[in-house]
Amino acid sequence: MNIEWIVKALANRRRLAIVQLLAQQRGLTVEQIALHLRLSIKATSKHLVKLSRANILEREQISLFAYYRLRAPLHPIASVVLASLNE
């Protein structure tokens, strides 16, 4: 994985908030994430795509809903960033 993609994906406060939220609550839909962060579904979806392309998130389609969670194992860079957010 290109380290630049990971760093760029994490260089946004909204995406950092998504990562922090998904560290606390596994398997949320776009709608649930948008509601929690008070963002539009469209904006939330764009952030989720960037995080997914950087291999930070996994997406699971169940029926009509797509659930997002942190990829396991999380890349070491993403792990360090997440740990620093929780300090």
Domains of the chain (ranges, CATH numbers): 3-85 (1.10.10.10)
The pLDDT of 2-28, averaged and rounded, is: 93
Give the pLDDT band (50/70/90) at residue 85.
confident
The pLDDT of 32-58, averaged and rounded, is: 96
Q: Count CB neighbours of 68 within 10 A.
A: 24
* DSSP-assigned beta bridge partners for residue 69: 58
Q: Which residues contact 27 (CB under 8 A, 6 or more apart)?
A: 60, 67, 68, 69
Indicate whether 55 pLDDT > 80. yes
Indicate whether 1 pLDDT > 80. no
pLDDT at 41: 96
Cα 26 from Cα 83, distance rounded (Å):
17
Cα 33 from Cα 23, distance rounded (Å):
12
